[in-house]
Every structure is written in structure tokens, then in C-alpha cells.
Amino acid sequence: MSDQKAIATPKRTKEILNKYEFFFKKSLGQNFIIDVNILRNIITKAEITKDMNIIEIGPGIGALTEQLALAANKVVAFEIDGRLLPILEDTLEGYNNVTIINQDILKADIIEICDKYFQDSKPVKVVANLPYYITTPILMQLLMANLPIASITVMIQKEVAERMAAKENTKEYGSLSIAVQYYTEARVETIVPKTVFMPQPRVDSAVLHLKMREVAPVKVMDETFFFNLVKASFQQRRKTLRNNLSRHFNEVFAKLEIENGLEHVGIDGTRRGGESLTIHEFGSLANYFYQRIKENS
């Protein structure tokens, strides 16, 4: 298919929008990509081949869906906006390897969907141009659901992508970085200017590639407690780790117990918040305090 016929051009996008008198809903964070090279770059970064099945979130008018259909075996796309269904039926006519589901991805049973539509043993990958306002809930749900997916490649707000892939001792590093990197190997692939979207968002975007881990980088006794402790450590970034933990766990541990715990695992409690701790140090801390709670219960 030539670039002239591709959906992701300013001319074709305007034609489609005018034909269906479609207007953007701010509440749904709709920003359509109008540069086909950006979409092909996403597919390259996601390492998609005809031997793979794809889940797409928020296909819009089908710009990315079209390129995915050309590159992959099958595509199942979730679109929450019912107004886009007749448009997608039109723009994707002829692509018999695409299924559009009018459902909120956050309410979908993805395993059931995979069983129904991907009745083969081909790897499943998630690819999407995600709305900024709901990026984190969607990604965290996908990561925590233990789904049979190999990777997630998404276009998201640049700042959020950098936070998700951040390493310790950087200002972007936080509880979100730890959560994402517990489940995946995260990498910001490319920065994308706001000019390739219609309408233009206020900020630039980035393509984030998340390769699912087969085994977490750190073995924790209780994942919920681990993430709770990580979040507490970053609560007030200017405070010391000791202060943040003492404040959060004040009903469970005395200050001296917090100090003893930090000493036991070899972490200096005067370190600033959690920004200098590696995921392995967080794992050691969480396991120590979780074990103490179990012993005292």
C-alpha cells in the first residue's frame, strides 16, 4: 500500500473525519497519528512479523491498525468510542485479519479474548497509541494480570515514558519505574513530536517498549507489600528513607525497628527517599519487614 492510500496522512485523515462528521472528544484523549513513517517505526520497534498476533488499544480511525494488519498475523483492537465503529468498518475494509471489539480494555477479559481469536500458538503482543489520561491504569492492569503476552509497545506521553524506564539516581525514578521494571525490561525507543498528531497535544510523546520478564528481577515474599513499601519510600522525596518508612508504618513498627531493619539489610536510612535504591534493595527491605510482620502476627 502506498503512502497516498495510507490512513495516516493529514489529507486522508481530514477526508475521513469530514465524511463522518467526526469530532474529537477531549474526555477520551483522542489524538490521531498523521505520519505513516511513525507508525511503521512503532511496528519495527515492536519487532512484529506475520508470525505474531496483536492486541491494539484505541484504534481511532484505524491508522495504526492498518499498518499492524499488513505486518502481523491477526489484530484484535479494542475501541471504547462507538462512533468510530462505522468508520473502522469503512477504513479497514479488505483487511480480513482485523477484529474490532467495542469495549473498554480495563473491563475486558483478555485471556478469554486471546482464546477466542488467537487459536494458535503464535506470540501475542500489545501495540497502541494510548490516551494520555489513562496510560498508567491500562499499562499496570496489563502488567499485573499475568497475561500470555510477549511485549507491549506504546506511544505515550514522553514524561510518563521516561518515568517508566528511569533508573535509580535520576529525578524521573519513582515507584512507577519500579513497578514497570518489576514486570518488564523497559526502554524508551524514540521521542515523537506533537506535530504528528491531529489534534496536536500540548506535549511530545515517546514510543515505550516493554519486554515482559519471565522471572521478576527480585524475589519478594509478598508483591502487594513490596509495592506498598516502594510507594511509601517515595512519598516525600526530600525526606530521608528512614522518615518516609517511619511515617508510613508508624502503626506497625517503632522508629527503632525501622532503623534496625535498615541496618540489617545494609541500607543507610539517611538516603534521600527511595530515589537511590535499586529494585534489589527494595526487595531486601520489603522481605525483611514483611517477615517481621508475619512473626509478630
Residue-wise over 66-75: b if at least 16 C-beta within 10 A, else e? Answer: bbbbbbbbbb
* Phi and psi torsions of 113, nearest 5°: -60, -45
Tell me the binding residues for S-adenosyl-L-methionine.
Answer: 31, 33, 58, 79, 104, 129
Neighbours of 43 (CB within 10 A): 19
For the chain, counts of helices (H) and of strands (E): 12, 9
Beta bridge partners of 153: 127, 209
Contact 211, 150 (CB under 8 A): yes
CB-based contact 93:165 (threshold 8 Å)? no
**Gap between the Cα atoms of 56 and 8, Å rounded:** 16
Residue matched to cell numbers 495510507: 6
Q: In whole angstroms, what separates CA 222 from the centre of its chain? A: 22
- Grouping H, G, I as helix, E, B as strand and the rest as coil, residue 54 is strand
Region of 194 on the Ramachandran plot (φ > 0 left; ψ -120 to 50 alpha; else beta): alpha
Q: At what angle do helices 223-233 and 279-296 cross, to 10 degrees?
A: 120
Cβ-Cβ contacts under 8 Å for 22 (sequence gap 6 or more): 16, 61, 83, 84, 87
Instruction: Identify the DSSP state of 9.
Output: S
- What gap in Å lies between CA 107 and CA 109, rounded to an integer? 7
Q: Identify the helix (H) or strand (E) that includes residue 55.
A: strand 53-57
Binding site members: 31, 33, 58, 79, 104, 129
